[in-house]
Chains A and B, each alone.
Chain A
Amino acid sequence: MTATFPKHIPAEGYIPPSRQQEPPRKSYKYIGQNLKRVEDPRLLTGNGQYIDDIVLPNMAHAAVLRSDRAHARIKRIDTSKAKALAGVYLVLTGAEAKEMTGATAQFASPPVVQYCLAVDRVRHVGEAVAAVVAENRYVAEDACDLIEVEYQDLPVVVDPEAAMTSSGDAVLHPERGPNNIAQHRTFTFGPVQEDFAKADVVVKRTLRWGRSGAQPLETVGCIAAYEPGSGKFTMHTNSSFLNYVGWLVGASLGVPASKLNLIPCVTGGSFGSKLFTHKVMTLAGTLARAAGRPVKYLEDRLDNITSCDNHGSDRLYRCELALKRDGTMQSLRFQVIDDYGAYFQFGVGTHGNSLCQIVGPYRINSIQMELIAVLTNKCQQGAYRGFGSEVTNWMLERMADAAADELKMDPIELRRRNLIQPGQFPYVIPSGNLYDSGNYPAVLEEALRIAELPKWNKIRDEARAKGRCVGIGIATCQERSVFSATEFWSLNGTENPGFTLTSSPESTQIRIDPTGAIHVTLGSPFWGNSPETMAVQIVAEQFQVDPSQVNIVYADTQSGFNSTGPGGSRFTVMIAGAIVGAAKQVKDKLLRVSGHMMEADVGDLEFRAGKIGVKGVPGKEKTIGEVALFAHYFRLNLPAGDAFASGLDANYVYDHPLTTMPAADRSHLGIFYPIMGHMCHLALVEVDPKTGKVAILDYVAVHDAGTVVNPMTLAGHIRGGTAQGIGTALYEKFHYDETGQLVTGTFADYLIPTLAEMPPAIRVGHVETPSPFTEYGIKGGGEGGRMGAPGALSRAIEDALSQYGVRCDELPLTPRKVRELVRAGEKR
C-alpha cells in the first residue's frame, strides 16, 4: 500500500505496522448477521436494572438546591429551617462540602477549579448551591425550598464574543486571567499562506452552530454507600467510563481508587453525556459519607437540562476556503470562538477531536485554525455524539456548498472533484491524523442510487413550477472512530504538554465453563447500544458456536480489568480486539487438550459448528463441551506444565490499534483517530416560506463503517443519530437570554423531535471498506447520523429557498429562524 502524505509531514516511519490478527474475509457465519439483540428481553420486561431501579437497605434520597442566578456571589446561606424539617438527615452547603471533598476532576490545563457544590459563587443558572439528604425525594425537595440563600448579583456574560473582552466582576474565574478567554491559540498545518496566495477563489462565510445536547431520557444518577472504618465506597453508577472515572472521583473524595468499587447499571442512553458522571458521583459519595447511610442522587429533568455538564458545542466560525477555478479545494483557514460555558472540564478536547478529520473527505492541502475558547454564564460543555467533529463536518459542508454557489457548480459535482480517491489510502491529512481506508466515491454513488436522484430532481422541479419550495441537500462527511485520549491534551499550551502516548485499552475475560458455555466479561457497561450483541457475534465467530452458547457478564471495577469504556465510537472495534486476543489463548488450549483427547496433531484440528475436529476426517471430533469438561476435571490425564493447567479461560487487554505522538511543536498532531468511516446523507425537503416550517420529504443515509458486525443495529444507530441530527439542525437549542436564564429549560421548550417531525423514512445503505488496522476490519459507527444530517438539511433548505437567496449558516433552523431568512430575502 502506498500512503499519501502532505509535504510537511515526514513519511518515514510515520505509520506503525498493522497489528491486525484477523484479516477481513469475504464471508462470515455470525459477523454480518442481523442477530436479535441479546440485551432486549430484560429491557422489554422491566428487568433492566437502571440506576433508579436499584434500592439499597436504609437508602436515603438527595435533592439539590440550584441557583436561579446566572452569576452571583453567595453572601449567606441559612439551612436551619431545612435541617429542622422532619425526615431530613443532612443539609450540606458548598462551603461545608468543601471541608470534606476536594475539587472535581477535569482535563483543562491550567484547570478551572470546580466543586460538586458551588462554594462562594454561582456561575450559571442551575448550578448546585446546597444538597439535602432525606427519607425520600419529596421531603428532600421540601427542604430545598426552605434553604435561604442571599446572593449578590454579578455582571452576566452570555455573548461569546463579548466574553473575550470581559473585565472586572464579569470575569468568571479571575485566578485564570483578566478576561473570559480560557484558551487562545492558532494551529497551522501545512503551507496555508502559500496555498491561499495561489488560489483563484477564496470563499468566506460566518457560521453559527447553536448549543444542543444529548438529553437521554434517563438522567444521571449514583447510589453511593460508605463503610466507616474500612473507608470504602460502593457506588452504583450509570457512567459509561467507570474504569476511568473511579480515579477521578476517588481523588475528589480523598481516597485511592482502590477504595471505590463502581458497579455498572444498564444505562438509559448516553450519547456521550454519561461518559464522565463524576460530579454526580462525587456529590453522592460526599453525601453518603456525611449522612452515614447509602444515598441515591438521581438528577431530575430540570437538574439535567440546566446542569448536566454536557451541553454540546456552541461555536461561531469565520471561515475562508481557498479553491482553484475548477473547484478543487486547496486550503482552509478559520477562526472559531467556542462558548464553553462556566467551566472547562474537558478543555478544548472537542477541537482536538475536530482536527482528526478537519479536511473531511476532501483533498485539502493545508489548514489553519485560530481557536478561541471562552467562558460564559452557561452550563459547561461536555460530550454529545460527535464531540465537536459533527460541527466541523457541518462547517466543511457549508463551505463546500458556498464554494459550489460561488463557482456556479453543482454541489455534488464539486464534492466528486475533491473526494480522496480509493487508491490514496492510507491518507495522512495536514493535521497529522491518518485516514486508514475508504471508498468515498462508492458511498456517494450508492447514496445517489438509493435516492434515485433524477426522481428527486423531478419532484423538486415540478413542485417549483407550482410555486412550492422544495430542495435537495447533500453531505459527504467523515465519521472518525476509535478514539485515543490524545485529543484531550494535544492542544494544550506547550508549557503543559499533557501525557505520553496513551493506549486507551479495552479488556475482556473469556471463560469456558465445564459444560461448554462461554462466559465473556466486559469491563465496560451497557450504555444504550449493543455491547452484548457485538461481543456475542464476535465470540460466536471466533469459536464457531451458536450465539446462544455465549453469556455476557459485566464486571464492576473491583473485579474488572483495564478498560476505557464506550465513547468516540470505539467499543465494537476495541472489544473485538480484546475478544480476538483472549479467544486465541482459549482456543489454543482447547486445541491442545482436544489434540490429546483425539491423539491428533494440533495443526490438523479445526473449529467447526461447536466442535473441534480433525481436518478432512468427518466425524472425528469432540464438542467444545466434552473438551471443556476434560480440561476442567480431568487435567491429570494431560501432560504436566502450565500449558495444561485446569480450566479454560484467558484475560486480554487490547490497546488502541494505531496511535502516535503529536510533533513537539504541534506542526502535526500525530495519528490519533485513524479508523475512519464515511457517510453520504441526502435530504429532500419542502419549506413553507410563509411559516418557516420545514418538512423532510425523503432521506437517504449511506455509511461505511468497515466490516459490519450487525447491519440491523448499525442501521439503528444511523437512523437514531440522524434523528438527533434533525433535532440539532431544526429544533433543539439550549437558549440563554441576555440575563443568563435558560429559557428552554424543559422538554416543552427544548424540542426533541417526535416521530411526527421525522421524514417518512430514512433509507439506509451500507458500504463496507474494511480497516487494515482493526480485527476483521471493523470501524466504529456509533455517532453516525448526527454527523451528517445538519449539513444535508442546511443545504436542502437553502436549495428550497433559493429564490429568496438565503444562506442557512446558523443552526438550529427553527421555523422562526427560517422565516427570518425568507423575510430578509423578500426585502432584497
Chain B
Amino acid sequence: MKPAPFEYVRPGSLAEALDALARHAPAGRILAGGQSLVPMMNLRLVKPAVLIDINRVPGLADIRVDGGELVIGALARHAALLASELVAKHCPLMVEAYRCVAHGPIRNRGTLGGNISHADPASEMPAVLAACDAKIGVRSAKRARTIPATEFFTGPLTTALAEGEMVTEIRIPTAKPGQGAAWQEAANRQGDFAMAGVAAIVTVAGGKCTHASVAVAGMERPGVRLPAVEKKLVGTTLDDAAITAAASMASEAVRPSGSYHADPIYKRELAETLTARALAAARERAR
C-alpha cells in the first residue's frame, strides 16, 4: 500500500498556495492534515499528480473571535479545536462532536478545513457546521467568497469548491444566551465514522422554542439540515411530545445511504433516536 508518484509543492504563503493551485489545476490537490487523503492515496484510490502542502502556510491555523463569529483557520487541527477555550465557550457543540472524532494521533494532524473539503457524509463536522449556520470562506488566486455550510456540501465527497479554490476559514456564529446545543452519535467503535449523528441547537425564550437547527451525519450527503423538523419545533415548549414528534419526522426526513454496518432502515431509526436525545439534551442546556 504505497502511494503513486506525485509532484510536491510546499508554498510558504497563502498567495503561493493559491498560485500553485491555479497553476496545477485540475491535477493539484491540497495536502493539509492528510488523515483522509493519505489513506486514500496509500490505497491508490486517488492518485493526485501534484500535492500542494499547505502545512507551512502561516496564519491559516488561527482560532479567534471576530464580532459575533468564531473564526477558525482552515489549517486548525482537530486537537487544537477540541482543546480550545474559545471553541468551548462559543461553539460547545463542536467540542462535544469532536469527542467522537477519531483518536488523538489523528486529531493531532487532521484539520477542520481538510475535513470539510473531503466532505465525507459520515463525518461529524459537516453536520456541526451546517447546524451552526457556519460560513465557509474560500479563496482562489482570483477571488474570495463565502459559502454557507448548508450549500457547501453538494454530495458525498463533493463540495461547492470550484477549480482553483481552497477553504481558508470557517466562520461560526457564536452561541447566544438561551441557546442549547447537543451532539449525539451512533458509531460501531469509539472514534469510528458515524453510522448516524445528529446536531441539534435550540433557542428558548419565554418558555417557547424560537429557533431550532437540526443537522444529520451518516446520511446520503454531508451537512444535511432537516428544515421540516426544525419548523415543527419552533413555537413549541419543547416538551417531550414535541420532541417525539420532531424525532419521528426526522426519521422520515433523512435520506440514508446503506452499508454493511448500517442499512437505511436502521439509519432512519438512529436518526429518530438520536434526534430525540440531542433535542432533549439541547433543551436542558438552553435552560
Q: Which residues does A use to contact B, with CB under 8 Å?
A: 137-138, 141-142, 145, 300-302, 690-693, 731, 733, 735, 737, 743-744, 746, 748-749, 751, 753-754, 756-757, 814-816, 819-820, 823
Contact = CB atoms under 8 A, between A and B. Distances in A.
Given A142-B4, A302-B1, A746-B43, A735 B260 contact: yes
**Shortest Cβ-Cβ A-B pairs, 3 listed:** A756-B190, A690-B273, A138-B2
B189 A757 contact: yes
Q: Most chain-B Cβ atoms within 10 A of its Cβ — which of A302, A757, A815?
A: A815
Interface string B245-287: 0000000000000011111011001100110000000000000
Contacts of A815: 186, 188, 195, 262, 266
Contacts of A300: 1
B191 interface: yes
B5 interface: yes
Contacts of B265: 823
Given A819-B266, A820-B266, 15 more contacts: A138-B2, A142-B5, A302-B43, A691-B186, A691-B270, A693-B186, A735-B260, A744-B260, A746-B43, A751-B189, A756-B191, A816-B262, A816-B266, A819-B269, A823-B265
B44 interface: yes
B248 to A, nearest CB: 13
Nearest to B277: A690
Contacts, number: 67
B192 interface: yes
B189 A137 contact: no
A819 B264 CA distance: 12
Nearest to A756: B190
Contacts of A749: 260-261
Contact of A690 (B1, B261, B269): B269
Contacts of B2: 137-138, 141
B190 A145 contact: no
B188 A751 contact: yes
A737 B259 CA distance: 10
Q: Most chain-A Cβ atoms within 10 A of its Cβ — which of B190, B260, B265, B274?
A: B260
16 contacts: A137-B2, A138-B3, A142-B5, A300-B1, A693-B186, A731-B188, A735-B260, A743-B260, A748-B193, A753-B189, A754-B189, A757-B189, A814-B261, A815-B195, A816-B262, A816-B263
B123 to A, nearest CB: 13
Contacts of B266: 692, 815-816, 819-820
A731 B191 CA distance: 14
B44 A141 contact: yes
B191 A754 contact: yes
A177 B241 CA distance: 64
Interface in B1-33: 1-5
B189 A814 contact: no
Given A751-B189, A753-B189, A823 B269 contact: yes
Interface of B: 1-5, 39, 43-44, 186, 188-193, 195, 259-263, 265-266, 269-270, 273-274
Contacts of B193: 748
A300 to B, nearest CB: 4
Contacts of A138: 2-3, 5
B41 to A, nearest CB: 12
A733 B262 CA distance: 14
Contacts of A692: 266
A301 B43 CA distance: 10
A820 B43 CA distance: 33
Contacts of A814: 188, 261
Given A690-B273, A816-B266, A737 B189 contact: no
Contacts of B5: 138, 142
Main secondary structure, interface of B, reads loop
A297 to B, nearest CB: 14
Contacts of A757: 189-190
A756 B191 CA distance: 9
Contact of B260 (A731, A737, A819): A737
A695 to B, nearest CB: 11
B118 to A, nearest CB: 14
Contacts of B260: 733, 735, 737, 743-744, 749
Contacts of A823: 265, 269
B184 to A, nearest CB: 9
A577 to B, nearest CB: 42
Contacts of A691: 186, 270, 273-274
Contacts of A137: 2
Nearest to B42: A300
A748 B45 CA distance: 15
Contacts of B186: 691, 693, 815
B154 to A, nearest CB: 24
Contacts of B44: 141, 145
A311 B259 CA distance: 22
A820 B195 CA distance: 15
Contacts of A820: 266
A744 B259 CA distance: 10
Nearest to B188: A751
A814 B259 CA distance: 13
A736 to B, nearest CB: 10
Nearest to B3: A138
Contacts of B262: 815-816
A421 to B, nearest CB: 42
B104 to A, nearest CB: 12
A598 B266 CA distance: 82
A553 B31 CA distance: 48
A757 B190 CA distance: 7
Contacts of A731: 188-189
A300 B274 CA distance: 38
B43 A743 contact: no
A744 B270 CA distance: 22
A175 B251 CA distance: 52
A759 to B, nearest CB: 14
Nearest to B185: A691
A690 B4 CA distance: 44
A615 B6 CA distance: 78
A746 B43 CA distance: 10
Nearest to A733: B260
A757 B187 CA distance: 11
B71 to A, nearest CB: 32
A38 B190 CA distance: 34
A301 B1 contact: yes
Contacts of A302: 1, 43
Contacts of B190: 754, 756-757
Contacts of A735: 260
Contact of A145 (B4, B269, B270): B4
A301 B39 CA distance: 12
A541 B270 CA distance: 59
A138 to B, nearest CB: 4
A748 B193 CA distance: 9
B263 A756 contact: no
A356 to B, nearest CB: 34
A737 B262 CA distance: 14
A816 B269 CA distance: 10
A749 B188 CA distance: 9
Contacts of A754: 189-191
A137 B273 CA distance: 48
Q: Most chain-B Cβ atoms within 10 A of its Cβ — which of A141, A735, A757?
A: A141
Contacts of B188: 731, 751, 814-815
B195 to A, nearest CB: 7
A733 B261 CA distance: 10
Contacts of A142: 4-5
Q: Most chain-B Cβ atoms within 10 A of its Cβ — which of A691, A753, A814?
A: A691
B267 to A, nearest CB: 9
B246 to A, nearest CB: 16
A823 B274 CA distance: 16
Contacts of B3: 138
Contacts of A819: 266, 269
A816 B43 contact: no
